[in-house]
């Protein structure tokens, strides 16, 4: 079992996301994160799905998803040839002594404090899913009030010419 990332380029139609997620559900394949975004074409949307599973199951779900009428292209995103990022915002409550300790951890991970209010502050981090997990592990002993984490987005490195069918 390993984390795997796939990207679907689909027609920008109502209901396509429901059909994609329904297909995953029918196959018993869990979605760890799902992000839908626009592309440079107003008629095409990009769906990025992070999942955990074995290679056989992942291959099966890619084949099944590729059969959807709206699917124009589907491909696996390999981490060694790609950039995969998430955004994390975390609200902490802390006293003055803890603030200095937390600032050191935040700086170490390349996060930023984006808001300071009375008794709390919000830190933001844009990184790979693993580095966000590492950051959350490093700050788990501090009082976290609220957290929001986006789904993954991914782009392959280098020039790749996608021809949509």
Q: What is the pTM of this model?
A: 0.84
Q: Tell me the CATH number for domain 85-153.
A: 3.30.70.1150
What CATH architecture does domain 2-77 belong to?
2-Layer Sandwich (3.30)
pLDDT of 18: 93
pLDDT of 164: 62
Residue 8 and residue 74 in contact, taking contact as beta carbons nearer than 8 Å? yes
Instruction: Using DSSP bridges, classify how beta strands 112-117 and 120-127 pair: parallel, antiparallel or unpaired.
Output: antiparallel
pLDDT of 158: 84
- Name beta bridge partners: 54: none
Q: Which residue has the tokens 């429901």?
A: 18
Residue 132 and residue 149 in contact, taking contact as beta carbons nearer than 8 Å? yes
How far apart, in whole angstroms, are the C-alpha atoms of residue 84 and residue 48?
10
pLDDT of 142: 94
- Please enumerate in sequence order all residues whose Cβ is within 8 A of that of 106, keeping only pairs 6 or more positions apart, or say none: 112, 113, 123
* Residue of 50, 40, 54 whose CA lies nearest to 9: 40
The pair of three-digit structure tokens given for residue 33, joined into one six-digit string: 């994160």
| In the chain, where the domains are located | 2-77, 85-153
Same fold, 2-77 and 85-153: yes
pLDDT of 165: 53
Cα torsion 32, 37, 39, 43: sign: positive
pLDDT per residue of the chain (165 residues) written in tens, 0 to 9: 888 999 999 999 999 999 999 988 888 888 999 999 999 999 999 999 999 888 888 888 889 888 999 999 999 998 889 999 999 999 999 887 888 999 999 999 999 999 999 889 999 999 999 999 999 999 999 999 999 999 999 999 887 666 665
């Amino acid at each position: 079992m390993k984390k795997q990332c796939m990207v679907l380029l689909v027609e920008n139609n109502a209901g396509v996301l429901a059909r994609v997620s329904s297909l995953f559900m029918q196959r018993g394949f869990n979605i760890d994160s799902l992000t839908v975004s626009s592309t440079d074409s107003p008629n095409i949307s990009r769906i990025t799905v992070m999942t955990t599973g074995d290679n056989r199951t992942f291959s099966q779900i890619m084949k099944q998803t590729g059969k959807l009428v709206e699917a124009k292209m589907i491909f696996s995103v390999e981490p060694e040839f790609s950039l995969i990022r998430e955004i994390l915002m975390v609200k902490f409550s802390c006293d003055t002594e803890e603030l200095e300790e937390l600032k050191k951890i935040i700086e170490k991970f390349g996060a930023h404090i984006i808001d300071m209010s009375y008794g709390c502050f919000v830190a933001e981090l844009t990184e790979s899913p693993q580095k966000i997990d590492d950051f959350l592990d490093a700050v788990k002993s501090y009082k976290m009030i609220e957290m929001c984490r986006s789904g993954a987005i991914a782009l392959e490195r280098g020039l790749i010419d996608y021809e949509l069918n």
